[in-house]
Amino acid sequence: MIGKALMALGMVGLVAGVHAAGLVIVLRAVVLSKARPRITPRFWSVLWLFIWVPLTLIVIHLFEIGLWALFFRWQHCFLDSGSSLYFAGASYTTLGYGDVVLPDEWRLFGPLTALTGLLTSGLSVGFFVAVVGAVYQSAIIRDSSAWASQGNSKDTSEYGSRAAATRKYRGDRHIGRSPADVSNREEEWQ
């Protein structure tokens, strides 16, 4: 029993390490991409970023499923590699059909596989949301700079900060109000 607990701990550590390394590699690529927050994002570079980041995250998850499948095959939990891969994928994604199950002495590894899948998937979703947020924030900064370059005041003291002025400007421009109207309705925003 202690041996299996150590194997479980080792697999969780391996999968977490692979996932962390994958996120670091993707993060470096995002920082070096043309859509990074320091550069005004272009449509095609942002679109490409929103395609390859999720695809890369999926490849990382498939690799982690493969690690679980190799472990189950190594421990002779299944007769063939296909069943190992199928079970690992169904458990990792928490789909869990139940048509293929682990032997009794390895049953606790099914929920452990699902737990690592949940945690690493959550990390991937959080990572992608952070990437989208960074691109969106750079677009706000670009719009704020464009607004200021059109002769509008760079002094945002009436709003408290440039970011607050930008939020108010962006919110009102879509409903036909000018930034000057925003200052008249400042109480409504707060």
- The pLDDT, as a whole number, for residue 163 is 55
Q: Which one of 49-53, 62-66, 176-180 scores highest in mean pLDDT?
A: 62-66
Report the alpha-carbon distance of residue 66 to residue 59 in Å, rounded. 10
Q: Which one of 95-109, 118-132, 141-155, 173-187 scores highest in mean pLDDT?
A: 118-132
Report the alpha-carbon distance of residue 179 to residue 160 in Å, rounded. 15
- The CA distances from residue 20 to 6, 8, 26, 52, 177, in Å, are 21, 18, 10, 18, 46
DSSP state of 39: S
Contacts of 20 (CB under 8 A, 6+ apart): none
Query: Which H helix or E strand runs over 94?
Result: none
User: What is the per-residue burial (b if ≥16 Cβ within 10 Å, else e) of 15-26?
Assistant: beebbeebbeeb
Question: What count of other Cβ atoms lies within 10 Å of the Cβ of residue 6?
Answer: 10
Q: How confident is the model at residue 46 (pLDDT cuts 50, 70, 90)?
A: confident
Q: How confident is the model at residue 87 (pLDDT cuts 50, 70, 90)?
A: very high
Report the alpha-carbon distance of residue 128 to residue 115 in Å, rounded. 20
Report the alpha-carbon distance of residue 137 to residue 37 in Å, rounded. 7
Contacts of 86 (CB under 8 A, 6+ apart): 100
User: What pTM was computed for the model?
Assistant: 0.71
pLDDT digits (tens, 9 = 90+) for 7-34: 999 999 999 999 999 999 999 888 877 5
Counting Cα atoms < 13 Å in the Cβ hemisphere of 148 gives: 14
Report the alpha-carbon distance of residue 84 to residue 27 in Å, rounded. 31
Averaged pLDDT score across all residues of the chain: 79
Q: How confident is the model at residue 178 (pLDDT cuts 50, 70, 90)?
A: low
Q: Which residue has the higher pLDDT, 111 or 35?
A: 111
Closest to 166 in 3D by CA, of 141, 185, 138, 133: 141
pLDDT digits (tens, 9 = 90+) for 48-63: 888 999 999 999 999 9
Please determine, for residue 72, whether its predicted confidence score (pLDDT) is greater than 70. Answer: yes
User: What is the per-residue burial (b if ≥16 Cβ within 10 Å, else e) of 163-179?
Assistant: eebbbbbeebeeeeeeb
